[in-house]
Amino acid sequence: MIKVLHKALDILEFISHDKNRIYSLSEIANAIDEKPTTCSNIIKTLLERGYVERVGKRGYKLGIMAYSIVNISGYDIDLVNKTKDPLKELSEKINSSAVLSVLKNNRKHVLLRIESNSIIQVNSTAMDISDPYETSTGLVLLAYQQEDIINELIKQNGLPLNFTNKEDYLSFLSSIRKDGYLSMTVKKEVAEVAAPIKSNGNVVAAIGVYMPKYKFTPDFQKKVIENIIKTSAEISDRLEDITSKV
């Protein structure tokens, strides 16, 4: 039993060397100097407990529970777990990359990123943090903040680049709340659409999708908006009891 525990820890240490890489069973077995059949049995348990995640038919990477014991809070773990499948379905349906973001200490944190090839990345460190002004998910999150937080950000960072006065900026945030989403193509060659995630009436996160601007035709834009609103509502329904855990 002690040997198996050591081997399980060896596996976690090995696949954590590159959190974005997908490892094969043979690679892992060679790394821990174990037979593939024995290694497979250990991985099976780690999969069941969520410490390893299967990618495709034969690939493995760190699972969400491996992150839960380091930097992601229990609340964020629930949020990621309940968002992952619907967001992956959205990404596949429109063939675009997708993210799950939250606002912490006036900064936007990406907790979950799904590339257009369906590779899922969970971000547990402080490396995927940015100015909320810079992306559609950040602006959606700001749209639902209290006025004192919005004013504090304006005092710290000024207004977003596209605004020359506070009134226009506040009107822009109000339009996001009214529409229930934000679609923008401000960045060169990139189109973005984002929508809020709610729990018990409170906005707790935002999901966003990103794609090349040339794909963003009027018909495709309509499809993206319809699907992201539907997905945000589905995730919100899953989160009805999550705010009680904060």
What pLDDT digit, counting tens, does each position of 209-241 carry?
Answer: 998 888 899 999 999 999 999 999 999 999 875
Q: Say if residue 198 is in the same domain as residue 85.
A: yes
Tokens of 98: 């997708």
pLDDT of 69 reads 60
pLDDT of 243 reads 45
**Model's pTM, two decimal places?**
0.68
SS3 state at 21: coil
Given a contact cutoff of 8 angstroms between Cβ atoms, the answer to whether 116 and 91 are in contact is yes
In a domain, 221, yes or no: yes
Last residue of a domain, one of 70, 103, 125: 70
In a domain, 82, yes or no: yes
Q: Say if residue 122 is in the same domain as residue 150.
A: yes
Last residue of a domain, one of 70, 96, 111: 70
Q: Say if residue 61 is in the same domain as residue 138.
A: no
pLDDT of 72 reads 56
Q: Say if residue 56 is in the same domain as residue 138.
A: no
In a domain, 188, yes or no: yes
Across the chain, where does the E strand assignment appear?
23-24, 52-55, 59-62, 97-104, 107-114, 120-122, 129-130, 182-184, 190-199, 202-212
CATH number for position 51 = 1.10.10.10
Q: pLDDT tens digits for the chain (246 residues)?
A: 688 999 999 999 999 887 668 899 999 999 999 999 999 999 999 988 878 888 877 889 887 677 656 555 556 778 888 999 999 999 999 999 999 999 877 788 888 888 876 555 544 343 355 788 888 999 999 999 988 889 988 988 899 888 999 999 999 999 999 999 999 986 678 899 999 999 888 899 999 999 888 889 999 999 999 999 999 999 999 987 544 444
Given a contact cutoff of 8 angstroms between Cβ atoms, the answer to whether 38 and 26 are in contact is no
Last residue of a domain, one of 41, 70, 99: 70
Tokens of 195: 């929508």
Q: Rounded to 10 degrees, what is the CA torsion of 85, 90, 95, 98?
A: -80
Of the candidates 39, 246, 195, 166, which has an alpha carbon nearest to the alpha carbon of residue 47? 39
In a domain, 246, yes or no: no
Q: Say if residue 48 is in the same domain as residue 88.
A: no
Q: Say if residue 106 is in the same domain as residue 45.
A: no
In a domain, 137, yes or no: yes
Q: Say if residue 65 is in the same domain as residue 102.
A: no
CATH number for position 149 = 3.30.450.40
> In the chain, how many domains are there?
2
pLDDT of 63 reads 78
In a domain, 29, yes or no: yes
Q: Say if residue 130 is in the same domain as residue 216.
A: yes
Tokens of 171: 């009107």
Q: Say if residue 101 is in the same domain as residue 221.
A: yes
Q: Say if residue 135 is in the same domain as residue 229.
A: yes
In a domain, 79, yes or no: yes
Q: Say if residue 180 is in the same domain as residue 60.
A: no
Q: Say if residue 213 is in the same domain as residue 104.
A: yes
pLDDT of 6 reads 92
pLDDT of 125 reads 40
Structural domain for 89, as ranges: 74-241
In a domain, 170, yes or no: yes
List beta partners, residue 212: 190
List beta partners, residue 61: 53
